[in-house]
Structure 1
Amino acid sequence: MNMLTRRNGIHLLLIAALSLGFILITSLGAIMNTASAQDNKPTIVLVHGAFAESSSWNGVLTKLIAKGYPVVAAANPLRGVKSDADYVSSILNSIEGPIVLVGHSYGGAVITNAVNDNKNVKALVYVAGFAPEAGETAVELSGRYPGSTLGPTLAPPVTLPDGGKDLYIQQSKFHAQFAADVSIADAKLMAGTQRPITDAAFNEASGAPAWKSTPSWFIYGSRDLNIPAALHAFMAKRANSKETIAVDGASHVVMISHADAVATLIEHAATTK
C-alpha cells in the first residue's frame, strides 16, 4: 500500500466516523425530544360515576396510554359529593404538572367540586356527566327534563350500619338501563361488579362549580337513560363548553361503547392552549 492510498483510507475512515457520530447525535436528539414531548403531556385523571368502577375507563385508558399520556383512574368512593371531591382533590394535589380532569355520570359532580383552586387543573371533561351549579343535586337535575328511567330500575336499598342506604341497579335491568349499546355478556359483568352509591350522595347539594373558571368539554349519548340528553345539552351550554359531542345512539356508558370518541375529546382538551 503506497502513502497516497493509506492517506485516502484514513480520510474515508474519518468521514465514516464523523457521519456515524452525526447519526447517533441526531437519533439521540430525536429520542430526547420525544421523551420531552411525552413529559410535557398533562396527566389525565379519570373519575367514574355511580354503578360503575375504574375499569369502565379501560378502553379510553388504552388509547391515551398508547399516545404517551400519564393516566390515573381514581376509585371514586361514591359516598357523598363533598367527601368524594375531597378524596379526588387529594389525588390531584399529589400530581406535578398540568392535569385534565374527567368525570363520568355522578363523577361529573365530583370533578365539579374537586378542583379547589388547584392551578394545575387545565381542563374539565364531562363524559355523560353531571355539571351542577351551586346548590343543585343529581336527583333534581336528572328530573329537570323528561327521559330518565333510572328510578324504577333501582334495587331495594341496602341499609348501612350508620343508617344510610346504598343504591344498586337491578342486575336484570342493568343492560337496558345503563349500557344498552354494549354486549349482553359485557353488561352482565358490569352489573355484577357495579359499585353502589349512597342515596345521600345523589341528594347532596353541589358547591361552587369549577366549570365557571376552568374550560370544559362535554360528550354524551343521545340515548342516555340515566341523564337525559336534553339535560346534557343544557349543562354544556351553561358551562360555555369548548366542544360538545352528542354521540347518536350511545347509552350512558359512552366511554365504553365509544372509547375512541371519548379519548379523542380528552386529547382535544389536553392539547388546547
Structure 2
Amino acid sequence: MSNSFHEKAIQLAKQFVCHKGVPFEVGYRWGKNFLQEAFDLSPSQWAYKMFDVCPLHAELDKWVQEFITKHKPLSRSTQRRFFWNQWFALNEFTLDPRPETEGIVSLILNRKTEVNTVLDLGTGSGCILLSFLEAFPKAKGLGVDIQSDALTVAHQNAFQLGIGHRVQWICSNWYTNLETNAIKKNSFDLIVSNPPYIPSSQWIKLPPEVRFWDPKVALDGGKYGITPYKTIIPGAKQWLTYGGVLALEISSNAWLPFLISLGKQYFSKVSVFLDDFGRNRYLILY
C-alpha cells in the first residue's frame, strides 16, 4: 500500500521528535520541508503524489539518518540547492546558499536597470552570478573565488543552465588576479558579493549544520567579521563602469555604521536594505 507524503512526513516527525527533542509541530515541519526539498515537490504534488512510487525514495532513510546523527543538511546529501529560479550543484568547497541571499538578486532586478556585465566576488557555486545572467540574457559575467574546487562546480552549473559561453571564472583573492587575467578596469555594470562576515570568535557558536558542513573560508570574516569589506568596497570603483553598482550582503551587527562610513568615502549613494526578517542585510552603493 502506497503512503502519501503527508503520512511519510508524520513518520519523519516522530523520528525528529525522538532524536532531536523538538515538539511534534516542529518535527512535522522539518519532515515536510525535507520531503519537499528532496523530491522537488510543488504544493499541489504534495497533496496527491504517493511517496512509494517516487524515484530515490530508498535514499531518504539514509539522508534522514545523516541529518539526525551527523547534522548533515539535506542539501549536502543531495549536493544541490534551489536558489532563485534554478537548482545549483554544490560541493564541499561551496557555501550552501541561504534564502536571504536571494534578496540581493531581487533588489537589483527591481531597479529595472539593464546590466551588461557582472562581477561576482566569492562566487562559490555561482548561484548569484548565474541568476543575474539568466535575468539579463545579453549580459556577460566573471566569477571569482579563492578556491579552484568551488569554481569547478560553478563552471558545471553554468553549462547545465546553458549559459557557460557567457561567463568566465578566475581563481583569485578578491580583485588580486583580475589584471593578470587581462580584465579591463571600469568594465562592470554590477559588482556583487556575499563575502564572509562571521567574526572569527563566533565560528564555534554556529549551529553544527553550518559549522560541520560549510567551508570556513566562506564564512569567517576575520576578527570583527568585516575584513573582506575593507578590500571589496575601496577596490570596487576602479572596476565599475560610470554609474555602476556595488551590491553586498552584510551582517546586521554593530559594525554596520563603519561599513556605511567606509562606503561613503568611495560612493555618493549608500543604502541599507532589510531582509524578510526585518534585519539589515544588504548594502547597495553607487
Same-fold call, TM cutoff 0.5: no
**TM tier, smaller:** 0.3 to 0.5
Larger RCO, structure (CA 8 Å, separation 6 or more): 1
Query: What TM-score, normalized to structure 1?
Result: 0.35
Q: Tell which structure's C-alpha radius of gyration is larger.
A: 1
TM score, norm. by length of structure 2: 0.34
